[in-house]
Structure 1
Amino acid sequence: MSESPLGLVEVVGTGLVGTSIALACRRAGIDVVLTDLSAEHVRTASGLGAGRPKGAADRPMIVVVAVPPDHLGAAIVSALTDSDALVTDVGSIKSRPLQDVAARVTAAQLTRYVGSHPMAGSERSGPLAASAALFDGRPWAITPHSTSSADATAAVAALVAVCGAVATTLSPDEHDVAVARTSHLPHLAAVLVAGRLAGAPAAHLALSGQGVRDVTRIAASDPALWQQILGANAAAVTDLLGELREQLDDLIAAVRDDQRDALHRILSAGVSGTQAIPGKHGGPVRPMRSVFVSVPDHPGELARLFGDAGEIGVNIEDVHIDHDPGRPVGLTELVVEEGRAEHLLGALESRGWTTHR
């Protein structure tokens, strides 16, 4: 094994995130041991190359707790009291687990704990959904508390670097407000929109396009997990929901009464919000434009389109595919820098692609 500032890493919880962390550590040549209440999950993760089951003689330098929110406090306490290891968790809420842990361990033990939260995941779950590349380039919050030791904070920063993520430091309370705004509220908005589709007439659903798929994608996540997340961050989430309710009342009035100025302000605020989201690599948002191309539903056609775009010399920043059930083609949206869109359109058309301007 290569030398690592992390030493032996133990991952407690071999679901999507835990196994992905283990795989990223193994990618860096770090020795990893795995613990989970599910022996089957440990076997699966081990079979994927994420590490080996923890043995009685193993003494990890850092323990990464990756269990569901309702079990975080107990698992962190166990890790702190059963060993001298530094401990972090990767739960999506930081304040409540810290309160639970602080009430159950000594002051000296608490110094070895630093919370963290990688902003990466998937609608899929379990070790088979894991990937060593899950965190590459993604934000990862480190949330030291007032008595966290410098060694513990440094070890978590080293873990973030090994996993290829980009570290940002917040207090536990700041973190919980931030994720309520950027993760929990968007999820609930998607849930409400998706809920209006359940039981809708088939003729209505036949008109579904890429827009509704984009808005509702995250609503497919595990409801049981989200019950725990929302319950643990109730104060921050309900504050934002209250603000959203007031804005929804304003929107209803603007649409119902044809208040064009009010509606324009609301719609413009949405544009401003999308522009506030950091761009690629955390930089400023660059002007983008969508290029739409009809792609026959045959093997190899999408690869040919990407190959042609590469030969043309235009970088594809994002891609969306709208599968039309009524046609033997899919409408592929290529998102590129605004200044390169016309060049891409012309070059693709010259190669026989059907584009839509």
Structure 2
Amino acid sequence: MIRSMAVIGTGLIGTSVALAASRRGLTVYLADRDESAAAAAAARGAGRAEPPPGPVDLAVLAVPPSQVGPVLAEQQKRGLARSYTDVASVKSEPENQVLASAPEPSAFVGGHPLAGGERSGPLAASADLFTGRAWVLTPSPLTSQRALDRGRELVEVCGGVPLVMPSRVHDEVVALTSHLPHVVASLLAARLLDGPEETPLLAGRGLDDVTRIAGGSSLLWSDILRANAAPVARILGDLQADITGLLAALNDLALPGDRSGAQSMRTVMDLLDRGIAGRARIRGGADGPRGPRAAVPRAAGHPKARESAHDAADGVRREPHQQEVMP
């Protein structure tokens, strides 16, 4: 059982984890290379901005993907905690770093809570940020059962919905569901710089919905895209093919003269219909899958099957009392 915790990195996610844990009565220690950020998190009741007197039960590394391996190696050498996890949105690269350089890779389990916000920093954090949200755990072939169990317990403490899957599967899925949307939002938002001077006057809610996430930190997102470049590039290539087809159809429809443009209209309609079907897949109708904030069914007496951490390498697992959200 987790009684004490250290959080390394007191931005939005790290401070939200600390707030949720403190609310549940855990002793939480905070650290950040920016001491003022750790102090701000402590002032909000997230924990103590000081080193722990001895090893804590769990350390949460709330740092960018490229820093997970180095920070873990450093903290394990110092003996900070008995088990470790992270909250980075890319899992394969950090896992490879851990397996290559961590003094004790068995004490680490990768983690990614699918939650965030438009604002960043400790002042934007909330103890309820993860309530009902999917939280992926990605044990490596060396992850111990104790580390995985403590990862699950952290998810429970924060009110999340645990999912266990291989890091490779996680990265392929978030490339489509998270990383590419940010790229597309940025591409569209960048076009606004070249619009007529009246553009802000006609910017409505639809444009705001599509471009909202483009306001995220370019430093953080460039690190995320570098770490997950191959899956994002593959999906971006597929998107490029759709755009090429749509561009050809629209150029055809724009030609002057009395033409039906039937084939080009079919191309446009097909893209729009596929968009409707794709959105229905994640938001769902009566029989469709639910989104990441779906209510989790809790059937009485549901069996709590024990599975080893090593089995996770074979595919996505359903945790007790929770729904698979993978396609």
Shorter-normalised TM range: 0.7 to 0.9
Q: Does 1:262 align with 2:271?
A: no
C-alpha offsets along residues 306-338 of structure 1, whole Å, 9 cap, x if unaligned?
xxxxxxxxxxxxxxxxxxxxxxxxxxxxxxxxx
CA distance in 2, matches of 1:212, 1:55: 45
Q: Which residue among 216, 219, 226 is the counterpart of 2:214?
A: 219
- Which of 75, 80, 85 is the equivalent residue of 1:88? 85
TM-score between the two structures when normalised by the length of structure 1? 0.75
**Shift in Å at residue 168 of structure 1?**
1.0
Counterparts of 1:134 and 1:251, CA distance in 2: 39
Task: Give the AA of the match of 1:272.
Answer: A
2:226 match: secondary structure: helix
Give 1:53 shift.
2.2
Larger Rg: 1
What is the rounded CA distance, in whole Å, between the counterparts of 2:290 and 2:84 in structure 1? 36
Is 1:191 the counterpart of 2:162? The answer is no
Aligned 8 A contact 1:16 1:128 in 2: yes
Q: CA separation in 2, counterparts of 1:110 and 1:285?
A: 34
User: Residues 255-306 of structure 1, C-alpha deviation per residue, up to 9 Å, x if partnerless?
Assistant: 22231111111111100110011459x97469xxxxxxxxxxxxxxxxxxxx
* Counterpart in the other structure of 1:54: 50
Q: Deviation of residue 214 (structure 1)?
A: 0.6
* CA-to-aligned-CA distance 1:154-205 (integer Å, 9 cap, x gap): 1101100110111111101111111101000011111111111114223233
Aligned to 2:319: none
**Alignment partner of 1:44 out of 40, 49, 62:** 40
Structure 1 regions of 5+ residues with no counterpart? 287-357
Q: Letter of the aligned partner of 1:101 in structure 2?
A: V
- Give the counterpart of 1:275 among 275, 280, 284: 280
Matched, 1:77 2:106: no
Matched, 1:180 2:185: no
Shift in alpha-carbon separation, 1:253–1:143, aligned structure 2, 3 A: same
Q: Is contact 1:42-1:53 (8 Å) kept?
A: yes
Name the aligned partner's letter for residue 233 of structure 2: T
Secondary structure in 2 aligned to 1:34?
Answer: strand
Structure 1 match to 2:122: 127
1:98 aligns with one of 73, 79, 95: 95
Q: Is the 8 A contact 1:80 1:112 kept in 2?
A: no
Conserved 8 A contact 1:32-1:52 = yes
Correspondence 1:25 to 2:30: no
Could you tell me which residue of structure 1 aligns to residue 244 of structure 2? 249
RMSD of aligned alpha carbons? 1.8
Call closer, same or farther: CA 1:37–1:27 in 2, change over 3 Å. Answer: same
Q: Distance in 1 between matches of 2:213 and 2:272?
A: 22
Cα separation, partners in 2 of 1:279 and 1:25, compared to 1, 3 Å: farther
Q: Provide the secondary structure at the position in 2 that maps to 1:253.
A: helix
Instruction: Tell me if structure 1 keeps the 8 A contact 2:281–2:288.
Output: no
How far apart, in 2, do the equivalents of 1:61 and 1:283 lie? Answer: 40
Structure 1 pair 245–98 and aligned structure 2 pair: CA distance change class (3 A) = same
| In structure 1, C-alpha distance between the alignment counterparts of 2:89 and 2:102, rounded to whole Å | 22
Whose RCO is larger (CA < 8 A, sep 6+)?
Answer: 2
Question: Aligned partner of 2:82: which letter?
Answer: A
SS of the residue corresponding to residue 202 of structure 2 reads coil
Q: Distance between the aligned counterparts of 1:256 and 1:97, measured in 2?
A: 45
Instruction: Describe the shift of the 1:128–1:283 C-alpha distance in structure 2 as closer, same or farther (beyond 3 A).
Output: farther
The answer (yes or no) to whether the contact 1:123–1:222 under 8 Å persists in 2 is: no
**1:218-237 equivalences in 2 (<5 Å):** 218-237=213-232
Would you say the 8 A contact 2:5–2:29 is kept in 1?
yes
SS at match of 1:61: strand
State, as a whole percentage, how many aligned pairs show the same letter.
41
Distance 1:195 1:96 in 2: 29
Contact 1:70–1:228 (CA<8 Å) still a contact in 2? yes
For 2:244 and 2:41, the matched residues in 1 are separated by 48
1:285, 1:112 → 2: CA distance? 33
TM-score (norm 2): 0.82
Q: Is the 8 A contact 1:32 1:50 kept in 2?
A: yes
Please tell me whether the aligned partners of residues 176 and 235 of structure 2 are also in contact (alpha carbons under 8 angstroms): yes
Count of residues paired in the alignment: 279
Residue pair 2:140, 2:166 contacting (<8 A) in 1 also: yes
Give the letter for the 2:266 counterpart: D
